[in-house]
Each structure stands twice: as C-alpha cells, then as structure tokens.
Amino acid sequence: MKDVAGKKVAILVADNFEQIELTSPRKALDQAGVVTMIVSPADGQVQGVNHDEKADTFKVDVPLDQADASNFDALLIPGGVMSPDTLRMKPRAVKLVQDFYKSGKPIFAICHGPWLLAEAGIARGADLTSYPSLKTDLINAGAHWEDKEVVTDDGVVTSRSPKDLEAFNGKILEELAEGIHQRQAA
C-alpha cells in the first residue's frame, strides 16, 4: 500500500454522531500519519453519542460553511441516526459531499452515513451497504444494497455498524492510498 502520511481527511459530523464511528477510523488514520479535521455545522464543539447516551464533545476544526473539498484528500461520514439526518437537511453539507464525489476523492460512510450519499445523488447505481434500517432508503435512491461488513464502489466505501470498524478502517486506508478515482472525476 502506498504511503498516506500527510494526506488530509475531512470528518463531517453534526451533533449526536456515533462516537466510535469517528474515533476508531480517526485513530487508524492518525496512526498512518493522516491529518484529520472535524467539519461541522456545530459551533465550536460537536457532541458525540454512544448509541442513545451522550458521550464526549470534540473540537470543530472547520465550520461547515468554510469547508472546501479542494482542501482535503478524502471525506469520512460517521453515522449514528441524528448526525446524518441533520446533515442531509443542510444544503451546504450535501454540496460538500457532491464536491468530494465530483472531484474523484474517496468518501467513507458508515452506519447511517450513507443517507448523505442518497441525498447527494451518489447512491444511484452504486454498490453500497449501511445500517440495515437504511436498506430500503438506499434501494429507493437507486443503490445496489449488500449486507456485507464493507462495500467499495470506485472510491466510495460503506460499512454497516461499529462491529464492522476493523474492516472499514482497513479499506479506508487502502482507498485513501489509491487517491483520485477517475470514474468520479469524469
């Protein structure tokens, strides 16, 4: 695998994201020398959860309205129900996801994170997975949904839940090393 040290990954979350779906991939990325930055509409701090219990808060590095896909090499979208549901209602968040996709940069979404892929029009024709309750939503958005721990479709990596984090983390490092994906950039 090519070296990913020095690459930059935006982590897009709103309040009440599933904390382990941010911290586990972030740890894997940090250990590989990747710079991770939290992008959020939240002001200053963003709230994590462990299922339905409040967990830690995290510093917002880049306010959503200042985020630009050109400043990053990839995008990570943690799940939890509330964060992706909030983000898919924010045109600026949807546009940011679209900008990453159009530029061919890898996108990593886990659990409920693929809701943003559907909202951004990226699900149509894509092979995806997600938390099982999103299956019908993604199929209705035109995706080919698979019940697998990790599914990759030309730089878009999706996983079902925290139990799949080991496979998800390995695949995101692999896709980050691959870099720009030409089908998306076309």
What is the mean pLDDT of the segment spanning 42-57? 96
What is the mean pLDDT of the segment spanning 62-80? 98
At 45, which amino acid appears? Answer: Q
Mean per-residue pLDDT over the chain, rounded: 96
- Answer yes or no: 144 catalytic: no
- Answer yes or no: 111 catalytic: yes
Percent of the chain with pLDDT over 70: 97
Question: Model-level pTM greater than 0.95?
Answer: yes
Spell out the domain ranges in the chain.
8-178
Tokens 């896909």 belong to: 69
Nearest to 62 by CA among 11, 7, 130: 11
What is the mean pLDDT of the segment spanning 1-27? 95
Nearest to 2 by CA among 32, 37, 36, 35: 32
At 49, which amino acid appears? Answer: V
**Which CATH architecture describes the domain 8-178?**
3-Layer(aba) Sandwich (3.40)
Q: Coil, strand or helix: which one is 9?
A: strand
Count of C-beta atoms within a 10 Å radius of residue 15: 18
What is the mean pLDDT of the segment spanning 76-105? 97
- In this predicted model, what pLDDT tens digit does every residue of 120-162 receive, in sequence order? 999 999 999 999 999 999 999 999 999 999 999 999 999 999 9
For 126, which DSSP code? -
pLDDT of residue 68: 98
Buried b (16+ CB within 10 A) or exposed e, 135-162: bebbeebebebbeebbbbbebbbbbbbb
Nearest to 10 by CA among 61, 81, 56, 79: 61
Catalytic residue among 51, 111, 144, 181: 111
Burial of 10 (0-12, 13-18, 19+ CB in 10 A): buried
